[in-house]
A and B are shown apart, each in its own frame.
Chain A
Amino acid sequence: MTMSLTRRIPAWARWNTTTGKVLILGLGVVALVGVWSLISLSRDSPVVYEDISEHFKYGSIGSEPGGSIFRSVGGALPPYWVFRTLPSVCPEKLPGGFASLGLIIEPGKDLPIGVSRRTRLGVDQVGFNCALCHTGTLRDSPGAPRRIVLGMPAHQLDLQRLVSFVLDCSLDSRLTRENVLARARDMNAGGPSLFERMLMRFALFSRLRDTVLELQARITPVLGDRVPAWGRGRVDTFNPYKSVQFNWPLDRLPPSELIGAADYPSLWNQAPRDGMQLHWDGDNDSVDERNLSAALGAGVTPVTVDHAEIKRIRDWIWKLPPPKYPYPIDQNLAAAGAPLYTAHCQSCHADQRFRDGVIVPGTRVGRVVPIADIGTDRHRLDSYTDEFAANQYALYPDSQYRFKRFRKTNGYANHPLDGIWLRGPFLHNGSVPTLRALLDAPDARPRVFYRGYDVFDQKNVGFVSDVPQEGGQTFTRFDTSVPGNGSGGHVYGTTLSDADKAALVEYLKTF
């Protein structure tokens, strides 16, 4: 047998000839490169944080691009090295860097809070996580240090401009391998791996452009001039979702359906919320489903989602206590506000004990109030349709996670007020800057104010809302006459005396 096999190999290719040796060596090298590529490409390893708050801020929920090397799925951001260099590649498009968009960059960190890092498909990738939209900042005064509060609405974040910038700069002709590598070297942090540099030479940028073009084509109708800007602290949850998940052509939807911007909610104290009607319009009553739905918005797909890492966050926010009001409270005044709260607010908004998980049975807490009764701006309600819900039931298909709890409603849900002092501006669309202003009759509420400035207004409870800019940051001019921004409705408590209103606001500080 051996003899006959040997006889069939041509003389030039036998191992004991020179060409044979070269051939075998060559094959060996090819095999090694192949194995190396396979290992590199198939690695899926997030940067893991043991500490739960670090995990919340920087951990991966699986929103980085993944799936197959031939066609990656999911993700909203370019690879790590590209993402980090974007602001310097396109400096005129973002003069103040990521921080000017309200992204929070802690000292010594390479990525903003809310951006995770994970190696997938041979590339160091980044993705969004929960903390992006659910971590806020506040200051006691313009000169005071910034406090970072996890789980608080990211009232300072301009997500729409962030996404627009990333898409825009990813398509910029200056985004080249050379420019990225040069800037990565300047960052002095190791730079891309050899394998990644190889990918950059061959496929990475063309593939990035394809992905970005597709995403841009899908969501442009809600990023551009056709709909009012979301502004800081707000996101249109469901319209990008319609196009990213289901490829609905947004420009063929009725224009009013495309106006859906709403405030970010707080994430603390979720346990007593399970079973309540969640989201502003109360379209889902399962905390877990709501979480997985929000994760889709951050860029996960049913195949790239990291259920285990999301579960860690879910378990943490389940019992995360709402932060206590850190400033002085006039206890007598607050005590005078308590009965007013009981009389005017409690049946819909729960009492103070909600922060400890107590819900008084028989109340309307966490239930939808019909739009005709609540009277607030209806655009956000109308942006969520029963047809969209019907499509959602096929998300996370063939798994225990498949969506079952989404429903079209006809109003907005009552929310418990734990940690309400950190949840301004108020109403679902953030159209009223402070709690005190919310107690004014609708026509007496501010018509125009600024959002995103993080100095706290202790008197009115909310953020100071008359500062248009500071340093490199411009804040969102919020005009309540713009469609979707109406500050009408929710007239509860507006007929109280000024003294009563002051007492009620003082009492709300204790929530």
Chain B
Amino acid sequence: MNGVARRRQRLWIVVAILAVMGAIAGSVAYVKLSRELPEPQFASDEDHFLFASVGNERAHGIPYWVWLVLPRIFPEHLPRPGGYSAFGIVGMDGREMPAGFAKVTIGYPRVGINCAFCHTTRWRERPADPPTIVPAGPAHQTGAQDYVRFLIACASDPRFTAGNILGEIAKNYRLSLVDRVLYRFIIIPSTRRRLLALERDIEWMHQRPEWGRGRADLLNDAKFSFLRQPGDKTIGTADTVPLWNLKQHGGMAYFWDGSNTSLREAVVSAALAGGTPPGWIDERISSLDRVVNYVSAVKPAPYPFAVDQALVQKGSAVFSGACAECHAFGGARTGKVIPIAEIGTDRQRLDAWTAESATLYNAFADGHDWKFSAFRKSDGYVAVPLDGVWLRAPYLHNGSVPSLGDLLEPPDRRPVQFWRGYDVYDAARVGFVSDGPDARRVGTAHDTAKPGNSNAGHLFGTQLSVEEKRALLEFLKTQ
């Protein structure tokens, strides 16, 4: 062999070795970082609702092992001790994940949120009692904004290092050497980058009042992220809503301002707001349809305490006279939009949704098998039916009135400040305990003087007599 041929042969050997190594590295990278394992299947629709993925983990998921240890490394970024429970996130009896959290493996196990994150509620009779958890109820106790801000605070902390995170993981789980290398050099740094990027994405929140527990501004999130509308000063913060009994709500308007009348569109758009990519919906809309089926069928939780039946009878008459037209199933205006001039409640949420938003949303799914066509701009807020109303406190679209008792008072006698998110029930006022040391420790303050937080309007029933109000409250417990 002459020198040139020998050199060429060597070159080929080197190239072949590199190619084999590259193929191995590529396969390992695919398997360990990107390969999607089948999602866990849930036998019951309720478990599917509580724990199934809505597809946001590839883009937004947090690596499970990192997610697990963040509250243990950064307890100072939590509002109080308790791990994720400190945000009102609901632990479920014996389940690995809290309600509203899916764990799926895309290369590595990842955690994402689903519908139940904002739509599972919780109450208890006395402070030391075990809580009762009600899937599909409004998550009045959950601080969605606080949770996101916690993740970002962790990523911004100089102690968010591979060494610290792997050290804490090592107390709980033995990762393989390959995994440790991948976590150290790829997964943890990319998680940090993604969370820091998220901080830029949510910058618009900082100019607006805190959501507090049980509220979210998903509307502006949709506008500024995937609808790509220009920034504005609107505040779309509103209470999370119950998702139960929706079959009976058929034909009524969804969202507080009634901006859509299709349940499926409402569910799909809420998933988009939660980070679900359109491509995932193309492939797995059946998973969302299972959610639609669940929330259509699930019944509201009945009032758990004793009621005075004679008083309920009297209250029923009061309700028929003062409320039924707008709030009873079958009422002439139930499920319809009541003009803002008539209802008089805080208009920020209404104004945050524009005609342009509706147009953009209706065009958003063009080219997909699923469509949006029912988005619209309205001029008021929907008069909602009151199924399970006892568990839907605080009240009004912006959750500005802590109890039904307060809602029957004229606005100037409603509390100007109270605490949201504490889950002990106040059967006398019909709502959650909203002040006192425990409510202040656990909850977040709602200041009605802040923009978007006003407790004005909805004067209906405020002129009733004390006796009538008492009877009406008793009746409302049974709804």
Which residues of A are in contact with B by a Cβ distance under 8 Å? 67-68, 71, 73-74, 242, 246-250, 252-254, 301-303, 371, 378, 381-382, 385-391, 393-395, 397-398, 402-410
Q: What 7 pairs between A and B have smallest CB-CB spacing?
A: A390-B91, A404-B94, A387-B85, A248-B81, A408-B130, A387-B82, A247-B72
B-side contacts of A74, CB under 8 Å: 171
B-side contacts of A371, CB under 8 Å: 128
Q: Which of A301, A385, A386 is B172 in contact with, Cβ under 8 Å?
A: A301
Given A71-B170, A389-B91, A391-B91: A252 and B128 interface contact (C-beta under 8 Å)? no
C-beta contact mask, B64-99 vs A, less than 8 Å → 1, else 0? 000010011101100011111110011111111010
Q: Find out whether the CB atom of A390 lies under 8 angstroms from the CB atom of B172.
A: no
Q: Which of B76, B84, B167, B170 is A249 in contact with, Cβ under 8 Å?
A: B76
Q: Which of A246, A254, A303 is B441 in contact with, Cβ under 8 Å?
A: A254
Residue of B nearest to A68 (CB): B170
| Bound CA–CA A409/B126 (angstroms) | 12
- B129 in contact (CB, < 8 A): yes
User: 22 A-B contacts, Cβ less than 8 Å apart?
Assistant: A67-B170, A71-B167, A74-B171, A248-B75, A252-B81, A301-B172, A371-B128, A387-B85, A388-B82, A390-B85, A390-B89, A390-B90, A390-B91, A391-B83, A395-B172, A397-B172, A404-B95, A405-B94, A407-B94, A410-B126, A410-B128, A410-B129
- B131 in contact (CB, < 8 A): yes
| Bound CA–CA A15/B221 (angstroms) | 72
Distance to closest chain B CB from A410 (angstroms): 5
Distance to closest chain A CB from B9 (angstroms): 14
Q: Find out whether the CB atom of B81 lies under 8 angstroms from the CB atom of A302.
A: no
Given A254-B441, A390-B98, A405-B94: A246 and B171 interface contact (C-beta under 8 Å)? no
| Bound CA–CA A382/B129 (angstroms) | 9
| Bound CA–CA A398/B80 (angstroms) | 27
Distance to closest chain A CB from B197 (angstroms): 27
Distance to closest chain B CB from A116 (angstroms): 20
Distance to closest chain A CB from B60 (angstroms): 21
Which residues of B are in contact with A by a Cβ distance under 8 Å? 68, 71-73, 75-76, 80-86, 89-96, 98, 126, 128-131, 167, 170-174, 441
B-side contacts of A248, CB under 8 Å: 75, 81-83
Distance to closest chain A CB from B125 (angstroms): 9
A-side contacts of B80, CB under 8 Å: 252-253
Residue of A nearest to B124 (CB): A386
Q: Find out whether the CB atom of B83 lies under 8 angstroms from the CB atom of A390.
A: yes
Residue of B nearest to A74 (CB): B171
Q: Find out whether the CB atom of B96 lies under 8 angstroms from the CB atom of A246.
A: no
| Bound CA–CA A249/B151 (angstroms) | 18
| Bound CA–CA A335/B438 (angstroms) | 52
Given A248-B75, A378-B128, A407-B130: A387 and B173 interface contact (C-beta under 8 Å)? no
Q: Find out whether the CB atom of A394 lies under 8 angstroms from the CB atom of B131.
A: no
Given A67-B171, A250-B81, A391-B83: A386 and B131 interface contact (C-beta under 8 Å)? yes
Distance to closest chain B CB from A72 (angstroms): 9
Q: Which of B68, B86, B441 is A394 in contact with, Cβ under 8 Å?
A: B68
A-side contacts of B83, CB under 8 Å: 246, 248, 387, 390-391
Q: Find out whether the CB atom of B170 lies under 8 angstroms from the CB atom of A394.
A: no
| Bound CA–CA A226/B214 (angstroms) | 35
Q: Find out whether the CB atom of A407 lies under 8 angstroms from the CB atom of B71.
A: no
| Bound CA–CA A82/B56 (angstroms) | 52
A-side contacts of B72, CB under 8 Å: 246-247
Distance to closest chain B CB from A379 (angstroms): 11
Q: Find out whether the CB atom of B75 lies under 8 angstroms from the CB atom of A249.
A: yes
A-side contacts of B92, CB under 8 Å: 390
Distance to closest chain B CB from A179 (angstroms): 30
A-side contacts of B441, CB under 8 Å: 254
Q: Is chain A's binding surface mostly helix, strand, loop or mixed?
A: loop
A-side contacts of B71, CB under 8 Å: 246-247
| Bound CA–CA A302/B69 (angstroms) | 14
Given A247-B75, A387-B83: A393 and B171 interface contact (C-beta under 8 Å)? no
Distance to closest chain B CB from A276 (angstroms): 17
Distance to closest chain B CB from A199 (angstroms): 20
| Bound CA–CA A409/B81 (angstroms) | 20
A-side contacts of B86, CB under 8 Å: 387
Distance to closest chain A CB from B336 (angstroms): 40
Residue of A nearest to B131 (CB): A386
Q: Find out whether the CB atom of A410 lies under 8 angstroms from the CB atom of B75.
A: no
| Bound CA–CA A9/B82 (angstroms) | 63
B-side contacts of A398, CB under 8 Å: 173
B-side contacts of A381, CB under 8 Å: 128
Q: Find out whether the CB atom of B171 lies under 8 angstroms from the CB atom of A391.
A: no
B-side contacts of A404, CB under 8 Å: 94-95
Given A378-B128, A390-B91: A303 and B173 interface contact (C-beta under 8 Å)? yes
Residue of A nearest to B88 (CB): A387
B-side contacts of A247, CB under 8 Å: 71-73, 75
Q: Find out whether the CB atom of B68 lies under 8 angstroms from the CB atom of A410.
A: no
A-side contacts of B91, CB under 8 Å: 386-387, 389-391, 393
| Bound CA–CA A371/B130 (angstroms) | 13
B-side contacts of A386, CB under 8 Å: 85, 91, 130-131
Q: Find out whether the CB atom of A303 lies under 8 angstroms from the CB atom of B96.
A: no
| Bound CA–CA A101/B89 (angstroms) | 42
| Bound CA–CA A405/B93 (angstroms) | 8
Residue of B nearest to A396 (CB): B172
Distance to closest chain B CB from A70 (angstroms): 8
Given A253-B81, A390-B98, A405-B94: A303 and B170 interface contact (C-beta under 8 Å)? yes
Q: Find out whether the CB atom of B81 lies under 8 angstroms from the CB atom of A249.
A: yes
Q: Find out whether the CB atom of A391 lies under 8 angstroms from the CB atom of B82.
A: yes
B-side contacts of A390, CB under 8 Å: 83-85, 89-92, 98
B-side contacts of A302, CB under 8 Å: 171-173
| Bound CA–CA A124/B437 (angstroms) | 50
Residue of B nearest to A257 (CB): B81
| Bound CA–CA A405/B95 (angstroms) | 9
Q: Find out whether the CB atom of B94 lies under 8 angstroms from the CB atom of A393.
A: yes
| Bound CA–CA A160/B93 (angstroms) | 32
Residue of B nearest to A394 (CB): B68
**In this complex, which of A242, A406, A407, A408 has the most chain B Cβ atoms within 10 angstroms of its Cβ?**
A408
Distance to closest chain A CB from B154 (angstroms): 13
| Bound CA–CA A302/B175 (angstroms) | 12
A-side contacts of B82, CB under 8 Å: 248, 385, 387-388, 391
| Bound CA–CA A403/B72 (angstroms) | 18
| Bound CA–CA A388/B130 (angstroms) | 11
Distance to closest chain A CB from B109 (angstroms): 8
A-side contacts of B126, CB under 8 Å: 410
A-side contacts of B171, CB under 8 Å: 67, 73-74, 301-303
A-side contacts of B81, CB under 8 Å: 242, 248-250, 252-253
| Bound CA–CA A390/B88 (angstroms) | 11
| Bound CA–CA A68/B169 (angstroms) | 12
| Bound CA–CA A189/B170 (angstroms) | 34
B-side contacts of A402, CB under 8 Å: 96
A-side contacts of B128, CB under 8 Å: 371, 378, 381-382, 410
| Bound CA–CA A402/B174 (angstroms) | 15
Residue of B nearest to A404 (CB): B94
| Bound CA–CA A71/B92 (angstroms) | 33
Q: Find out whether the CB atom of A393 lies under 8 angstroms from the CB atom of B96.
A: yes
B-side contacts of A391, CB under 8 Å: 82-83, 85, 91
**In this complex, which of A253, A302, A387 has the most chain B Cβ atoms within 10 angstroms of its Cβ?**
A387
B-side contacts of A385, CB under 8 Å: 82
Residue of B nearest to A403 (CB): B94
B-side contacts of A403, CB under 8 Å: 94
Q: Which of B68, B93, B96, B173 is A407 in contact with, Cβ under 8 Å?
A: B93
| Bound CA–CA A22/B60 (angstroms) | 58
**In this complex, which of B76, B81, B130 has the most chain A Cβ atoms within 10 angstroms of its Cβ?**
B81
Q: Which of B68, B84, B129 is A397 in contact with, Cβ under 8 Å?
A: B68
B-side contacts of A67, CB under 8 Å: 170-171
Residue of A nearest to B83 (CB): A391
| Bound CA–CA A71/B164 (angstroms) | 10
B-side contacts of A68, CB under 8 Å: 170
Distance to closest chain B CB from A305 (angstroms): 11
